Amino acid sequence: MSLWGGRFLDESNKLFKKFNASLSFDYILAQEDIFASIAWSYALFETGVLTKKEQEKIELGLTFLKQEIYKNPEQILKSDCEDIHSWIEINLIKKIGEIGKKLHTGRSRNDQIATDLKLWCKNNIQVLLESLLNLQKQFILSAELHLDIIIPGYTHLQRAQPITFSYWCLAYVEMFKRDFERLKDTLKRLDISPLGSGALSGTAWNIDREKLALSLGFSSATNNALDSVSDRDYIIELLASASISMMHLSRFSEDLIFFNSSEANFIELSDSITSGSSLMPQKKNPDSLELIRGKCSRVYSSLFSILVLLKALPLSYNKDMQEDKESLFDAIKTWNNSLLMAGLVLKNIKLNRVLCYQAAEKGYSNATEVADYLVKKGVAFREAHYISGKIVLQAINENKALKDLDLSQFQKYNNLIENDIYDHITLEACIKKRVSKGGVSLHQVQEAIKKEKIRLNIA
């Protein structure tokens, strides 16, 4: 049974019917559709379309359906209905009889699906916000746990200046904080109800759409029905937020994959989130991180898909828009699962303190300190930079760290260098000097952790 058969003499071709149907994926909107349908029944009662008794009977029938679906959501998939709206309406009529046929008065599947999708997005944004907060908390806990572990900082994948693992964690807190704020901002524009827009020009019934919007948990109702049924900007914005956040997760994964490599060996990942090789018994592969990195492209493709889908669609609703759902559902699930996995990876990470320190030391990440030392002695920075480079070259040729050079070797390049140079070029001294806001010094890191713990309500 379909909801639109009166105009047609012939039955739908079986292949077309299957090609046209969306129930196989939009069935997950069942709870949202029922919620919105109950609200719509109240609006119809207030308009006089339904009596109080009819409204109560419809609400009771929908509530029973909701309970049945909650127990077994996949029962819906056994039906040959076109979409979730058809399934609910048909099964409501089976439960309560002819009264069920009144529910769709003044409503179109166009404003119905727009409402369901917005409700689904709102519900899932709350889940994502919680996941983003939890991941930030895990970074803060890890930062607090590894305050004094020095690692190399990199530019161009070359060792640059020493930092701490805590400082690295705080960098990702900033990224995921922006993701959180971006998602909250997306919610503001999404929080407007399209229900009551009808097919494209509004409803002929005197529905109080603002009251209806509030009853659904929206902040207000949309202003233009033509736009309301064809608007999918909120999906684009949500998927854009997902894509940016997945990019952050991918960078996080790439960092840890490198840190975990045999060449770096800075960290060890937990057995619980790694796997082995079917051939090589020695392997311990960072599959969880590689999958996060790979799934980033999957979320990107969802964003590109909806952008291409909408780019040339005329107003208002077109059946093309049925293709907005599968990629949205998949992308949001993928994003949330990746956030959860990233937290699990970070929670069980182990750091190799000695190798981290040695890598920072051997990478001449303290070379800038030699230049700064000379500047304090009155040498112009550009000249000091040149001298420091020559000293590094000598250390490289002798396969030594800067601290292992003799004082005479330093003074060969500038006789202003004295024995106190060794105090200035320790990794600890390098870090201690970075006292400006956002710097790597222990004080700045501890202050940042303190502020973030207050923001995230970590005891």
Confidence of residue 252 (pLDDT cuts 50, 70, 90): very high
The residue from 333, 359, 385 where one domain ends is 359
Number of structural domains, the chain?
A: 3
Evaluate if residue 424 carries a pLDDT over 70: yes
| pTM for this entry | 0.92
The three-class DSSP label of residue 97 is: helix
Both 77 and 117 in one domain: the answer is no
Active-site residue, from 272, 275, 277, 297: 277
What is the C-alpha separation between 10 and 390, in angstroms, rounded? Answer: 87
Mean pLDDT of 89-101: 97
Residue 23's CB is within 10 A of a number of other CB atoms, namely 17
Q: What is the pLDDT of residues 329-376, one digit of tens each?
A: 999 999 999 999 999 999 989 999 999 999 988 878 888 899 999 999
Is 453 among the domain residues? no
Evaluate if residue 458 carries a pLDDT over 70: yes
Strand-pair partners of 268: 350
Mean pLDDT of 80-100: 96
Q: What is the pLDDT of residues 146-205, one digit of tens each?
A: 999 999 999 999 998 999 999 999 999 999 999 999 999 999 999 999 999 999 999 999
Cα three-residue angle 119-29-56, rounded to 5 degrees: 80
Both 121 and 212 in one domain: the answer is yes
Q: What is the pLDDT of residue 361?
A: 84
The number of helix segments (H) and strand segments (E) in the chain equals: 19, 6
Both 328 and 273 in one domain: the answer is yes
The three-class DSSP label of residue 220 is: strand
In the chain, what percentage of residues exceed pLDDT 70?
96
Q: What is the pLDDT of residue 6?
A: 62
**CB 254, CB 243: distance < 8 Å:** no
Confidence of residue 240 (pLDDT cuts 50, 70, 90): very high
Whole-angstrom distance between the N-terminal and C-terminal Cα of the chain? 57
The 3 state secondary structure assigned to 9-47 is: CCCCCHHHHHHHCCHHHHHHHHHHHHHHHHHHHHHHHHH
Both 70 and 146 in one domain: the answer is no
Evaluate if residue 431 carries a pLDDT over 80: yes
The residue from 57, 81, 105 where one domain ends is 105
Q: What is the pLDDT of residues 269-324, one digit of tens each?
A: 998 888 766 667 566 889 999 999 999 999 999 999 999 999 999 999 999 999 99
Q: What is the pLDDT of residue 271?
A: 84
Evaluate if residue 10 carries a pLDDT over 80: no
Mean pLDDT of 138-143: 98
Both 322 and 386 in one domain: the answer is no
Residue 458's CB is within 10 A of a number of other CB atoms, namely 13
Q: What is the pLDDT of residue 196?
A: 98
Q: What is the pLDDT of residue 366?
A: 87
**CB 115, CB 35: distance < 8 Å:** no
Both 212 and 353 in one domain: the answer is yes
Is 3 among the domain residues? no
Residue 395's CB is within 10 A of a number of other CB atoms, namely 19
Q: Which domain holds residue 101?
A: 14-105
Q: What is the pLDDT of residue 117?
A: 98
Q: What is the pLDDT of residue 273?
A: 86
Cis peptide bond upstream of 316, omega within 30: yes
How confident is the prediction for the chain on average, in pLDDT?
A: 94
CATH value at residue 38: 1.10.275.10
Both 166 and 90 in one domain: the answer is no
Q: What is the pLDDT of residue 342?
A: 98
Length of the chain: 459
Both 304 and 353 in one domain: the answer is yes
The residue from 89, 105, 121 where one domain ends is 105
What is the C-alpha separation between 57 and 302, in angstroms, rounded? Answer: 41
Q: What is the pLDDT of residue 459?
A: 83
What is the C-alpha separation between 90 and 421, in angstroms, rounded? Answer: 83
Q: What is the pLDDT of residues 30-58, one digit of tens each?
A: 999 999 999 999 999 999 999 999 999 99
CATH value at residue 373: 1.10.40.30
Conformation bin of residue 378: beta by default, left when phi > 0, alpha when psi is -120 to 50: left
Mean pLDDT of 24-28: 96
Evaluate if residue 7 carries a pLDDT over 90: no
Q: What is the pLDDT of residues 207-216, one digit of tens each?
A: 999 999 999 9
Both 278 and 353 in one domain: the answer is yes
Amino acid at site 280: M
277 classed as catalytic: yes
Both 59 and 154 in one domain: the answer is no
Evaluate if residue 4 carries a pLDDT over 60: no
Is 458 among the domain residues? no
Active-site residue, from 156, 278, 408, 436: 156
Burial class (CB in 10 A: 0-12, 13-18, 19+), 287: middle
Q: What is the pLDDT of residue 239?
A: 98
Q: Exposed e or buried b for every residue in 423-441, given b needs 16+ CB within 10 A?
A: ebbbbeebbeebeeeebbb
Q: What is the pLDDT of residue 1?
A: 55
Is 5 among the domain residues? no
Both 162 and 86 in one domain: the answer is no
Both 269 and 170 in one domain: the answer is yes
Evaluate if residue 138 carries a pLDDT over 80: yes
CATH value at residue 160: 1.20.200.10
Q: Which two tokens stand for residue 144?
A: 């607090």
The three-class DSSP label of residue 446 is: helix
